[in-house]
Amino acid sequence: MFFELRKSTQLDCFNLAFNVSNPYPSIGDVYRLVGYCALFAAIFVYMGIFQPAISRKIVAATATVALPTSAGIIPSILLATRGKVFEANLTTLFVSVAYPLFDLLLFAQAMLGLLVFTTTELKGKVGGAWLFLNAGILMNVFGDLLLSYTNMNGVYYKGHPLELFFHTGYIFFSLAFYTHTKDL
């Protein structure tokens, strides 16, 4: 959350102080990509505690959900960048593809957690928090996919309606943290 807040602060600084309407990619994107790494590590360590409960059946169910989602989203990213590869610099292309891919990896990791806490002997109150976490990540997947598409086509602006996906995702993340602490 700190890295996301830092990214938003940096974008607002560019927008208000320097009158740059859409600094993409910028140092704020670096903060956000570092935030993904921190979130990957946190979920990995948290799920490592429950590794004995993760069966092949759960991994197969996670793959059944995550792979078709990836199969639908990755071609969309490639179509969005079609014809733009030669126009965009390498950094813009990397950031435009990295956001949805990191979201999908995060979604697969969180889906594993959801299945562990809703279908195994660990089933209990924590499953609701993982459901909210998955909903928040899914909103970010949609938001990042649309953000990449609109940035590559040059139609994104601060306050674009696609930001509602991110805001909805943040509400789901807040509910996940709240229900997790409340239920423990």
DSSP collapsed to 3 states, 106-139: HHHHHHHHHHHHHHCCCCCCHHHHHHHHHHHHHH
Mean pLDDT, the chain, whole residue set: 77
pLDDT > 90 in the chain, percent: 4
pTM of this prediction? 0.73
Q: Where are the alpha helices (DSSP H) in the chain?
A: 2-17, 27-48, 56-81, 90-119, 126-153, 163-183
- CATH fold group of domain 50-183: Butyryl-CoA Dehydrogenase, subunit A; domain 3 (1.20.140)
Q: 13 falls in which pLDDT band (50, 70, 90)?
A: low
For residue 166, count other CB atoms closer than 10 A to its CB. Answer: 19
Q: What is the pLDDT of residue 7?
A: 57
Q: What is the pLDDT of residue 24?
A: 63
Q: Enumerate the domain spans of the chain.
A: 50-183
